[in-house]
Amino acid sequence: MNDPTSTVTPPANTVLEALPWPLAVVGPDGIVAYVNPAWPGGAAIVGQAYERVLAHWRSVPPSAAAIIRDAVAAAMSGDDDGAALEFAEVGEPPARWLRVRCVAVAGGCALMLLEDVSEQRRRELDLALRADHDPLTGLANRRRFLSEGTRMLALADRHQWGMALLFIDLDAFKSINDSAGHTFGDAVLQQVAKRLERGTRSGDLLARFGGDEFVVLLNDIDPAASVALAQRYRAALQDPPIVPGAALPVQASIGIASFPGAATSLTALLRLADAAMYRAKSAADGVVIVDESPTPD
């Protein structure tokens, strides 16, 4: 009977043991024939069935273990496609992201190669976060709002529930910026974002739309409830004062457009709520809702 380890010659062993990436060779009988020093658990798994090794690899999600098991079997039969699987380890954060590749080697054996791609995934996630979120406040940005808001409206239309868009603008914010400087103004915007976020319901979408403008898409709500929620947003910005003792308190004017009563597209809702917000600046309570007479989109 051929020894599966004979497929790895001494010179190859020397090279494999020097590699920083964990790798293992599974023989044609499904027994782990070789691991290099970088493999988790080291040589203790040599001589064990690879299925048993996967079953006891606690940090591998069961779904990933099943895919790896099938990939090893395919490699041993010479039917592998060289595809790689990426998965996040189970356990306390920060979890590692691992890439596993199983390829066929001589003698009906399979080689499993592990690669830690955590840093690459973190960079990708950071880029995705920057693309969809405002760097100053951490809220969704205009791009994310337009994309996610369109999806939310389509879902609301399908299920026939009401929604409302709130357009929030800080009153006299330019005066705060001019008198105290942009660094102070940025700090005020961050505090405003935190207060708005605390008052936002699960399932609603809050975003910084630009400058001192914020928008909220309220899910499954009627016009009267949207007005009440807008008033709570205004109250949250005033008490306690964001800038204690400031001559110009931080206040907001809010325009509201309802779906489907006022409009049925996100673009039209934004246009109507923006116009209502400007009217709200001269309203006694700082909130104006658009009349429910659907506007052509």
Q: Which residues are identified as catalytic?
A: 212
Residue type, 115: E
Asked if residue 285 has pLDDT above 80, the reply is yes
pLDDT at residue number 1 = 47
Q: Which two tokens stand for residue 115?
A: 């690669």
What is the side-by-side strand order in the sheet with 163-171? 205-210, 213-218, 163-171, 251-259, 287-289
CA atoms within 13 A of residue 40's CA, in its CB half-sphere: 14
Q: What is the pLDDT of residues 59-101, one digit of tens each?
A: 888 888 888 888 888 888 877 766 788 888 877 666 788 888 8
pLDDT at residue number 271 = 96
**227, containing H or E segment:** helix 223-238
More confident residue, 255 or 247: 255
Asked if residue 171 has pLDDT above 70, the reply is yes
Instruction: Answer yes or no: are the C-beta atoms of 182 and 223 closer than 8 Å.
Output: no
Taking CA atoms, 205 is separated from 130, 145, 212, 214, 221, in Å, by 17, 7, 17, 11, 13
DSSP conformation letters of 240-273: TTSSTT-SS--EEEEEEEEETTT-SSHHHHHHHH
Q: What is the pLDDT of residues 201-250, one digit of tens each?
A: 999 999 999 899 999 999 999 999 999 999 999 999 987 777 766 556 78
Task: State the burial class of residue 126 (Cβ atoms within 10 Å of its Cβ: 0-12, 13-18, 19+).
Answer: exposed
Helix, coil or strand: residue 63: helix
DSSP state of 58: T
